Structure 1
Amino acid sequence: MNLSFFDQFMAPCFLGIPLTLLALLFPTLLLPTPSTRWIPNRLTTLQSWLILTITKQLMIPLNKKGHKWALILTSLLMMLLLTNLLGLLPYTFTPTTQLSMNMALAFPLWLATLLIGIRNQPSMSLGHLLPEGTPTPLIPALVMIETVSLLIRPLALGVRLTANLTAGHLLIQLISTATIILLPTLPSVSALTSIILLLLTVLEIAVAMIQAYVFVLLLSLYLQENI
């Protein structure tokens, strides 16, 4: 049976039942559970410090009204971060390589920020569609352009995350396949490609963390525009 390089992105199924939800819930099992002791262990303390630091970093662009979203944004970042990193392990499935999955995260959250702006400050939210001082003949064209750029935001969020993770996984699989094939005939070249594979893996770990942060940071910036 010949397998395609894109088979790694197929959602796993067991007895016809998709296991995507299980793949999303599994990373939460790796988080240490806070205990009821007065003095927690080092791992729980490190986790609490990391979550607090991430939350403070995400709340910097937001005013006091946006702090209500702290739990949602921090939980989303932790979920994306754990899912992206666990997807780099062999024989695992990365749900965030699916465009449908990323769009299911991006579109409702973007729509929520938009509806908050329309409800709380409709004039300012609609004012983003037309920059101040625009010449009268350019008003229809600029309104159309700004409307398209506003509606394309969730698509850009989902496609950015999907494309970066998919490209990294494909490169890792291509280089690892070349390393195995070249090992019997050209061991020196195979060793060189293995070094490249190691460096690419480190780069992909950084990309997995950065893309999760960028996804949530852009959502926080969209929220800031509407509160």
Structure 2
Amino acid sequence: MMLSFFDQFMSPTFMGISLITLALTLPWILYPTPTSRWLNNRVLTLQGWFVNRFTQQLLLPLNVGGHKWAIMLTSLMLFLLTTNLLGLLPYTFTPTTQLSLNMGFAVPLWLATVIIGMRNQPTVALGHLLPEGTPVPLIPVLIIIETISLFIRPLALGVRLTANLTAGHLLIQLIATAVFVLLPMMPTVAILTATVLFLLTLLEVAVAMIQAYVFVLLLSLYLQENV
């Protein structure tokens, strides 16, 4: 039976139980929790330093009102980062290749930023729909365009993360299949292709980290406009 390359993006099941639940729970188990000791070990110290530095960089352009989102945005970053990287391991499943999961993150958080802006500063929030100094004949057209761009934001967030990870995983599988096919016939070409595969895997590690950061960074920029 010939399997499709896209079968890797289907949610796997074991004895009728969906394994996406395990994939979503595992990232939280991998990170050690800080202890009550005066001095932590090297792993906890490095983890705390990374979280603190990332939170400072993320919240640097935000007002004080946006600092309430620090725990949520940092936790989301760690979750997406770990999930994306775990999906590169063999015999694993990447939940963030599912558009429904990414939209489940993007839509509520984007909507929360919009609601905050409408509640705290409605004039400024509505002012983004019409740039200052717009000619009168263009006002209706610009309002429609800016409104559409506002509602496209969560879709862009979810589709960007899904498309980048899906394309990378699919390309890795295509090149890996080419290596196995070429190995008995043309070993030299297969070795060169395997080198390309190794470099592509390193690139996908970087993409997995960058896409998690971009997702959270764009959310922080949307929040910056509304606080």
Q: How does the TM-score come out when normalised to structure 1?
A: 0.98
Amino acid at match of 2:56: K
In the TM superposition, what is the alpha-carbon distance from 1:17 to its structure 2 partner? 2.9
Q: What residue number does 1:171 align with?
A: 171
Q: What residue number does 1:132 align with?
A: 132
In the TM superposition, what is the alpha-carbon distance from 1:53 to its structure 2 partner? 0.8
Q: What residue number does 2:222 align with?
A: 222
In the TM superposition, what is the alpha-carbon distance from 1:172 to its structure 2 partner? 0.4
In the TM superposition, what is the alpha-carbon distance from 1:27 to its structure 2 partner? 1.4
Instruction: Note if 1:9 corresponds to 2:6.
Output: no
Distance (whole Å) between structure 1 residues aligned to residue 127 and residue 33 of structure 2: 46
Amino acid at match of 1:46: L
In the TM superposition, what is the alpha-carbon distance from 1:212 to its structure 2 partner? 0.3
In the TM superposition, what is the alpha-carbon distance from 1:16 to its structure 2 partner? 2.8
Q: What residue number does 1:198 align with?
A: 198
Q: Deviations over 1:50-76 (max 9, x none)?
A: 111111111012111100000000000
Q: What residue number does 1:68 align with?
A: 68
Residue pairs, 1:1-227, within 5 angstroms: 1-227=1-227
Distance (whole Å) between structure 2 residues aligned to residue 19 and residue 184 of structure 1: 35
Amino acid at match of 2:114: L
Distance (whole Å) between structure 1 residues aligned to residue 109 and residue 119 of structure 2: 15
In the TM superposition, what is the alpha-carbon distance from 1:35 to its structure 2 partner? 2.1
Q: How many residues align?
A: 227
Distance (whole Å) between structure 2 residues aligned to residue 57 and residue 2 of structure 1: 48
Q: How does the TM-score come out when normalised to structure 2?
A: 0.98
Unaligned runs of 5+ in 2: none
In the TM superposition, what is the alpha-carbon distance from 1:36 to its structure 2 partner? 2.4
Q: Deviations over 1:48-101 (max 9, x none)?
A: 001111111110121111000000000000000000000000110000000000
Unaligned runs of 5+ in 1: none
Give aligned-pair identity as a percent. Answer: 70
Q: Deviations over 1:130-163 (max 9, x none)?
A: 1111111111100000000000000000000000
Deviates more, 1:203-212 or 1:21-30: 21-30
In the TM superposition, what is the alpha-carbon distance from 1:30 to its structure 2 partner? 1.2
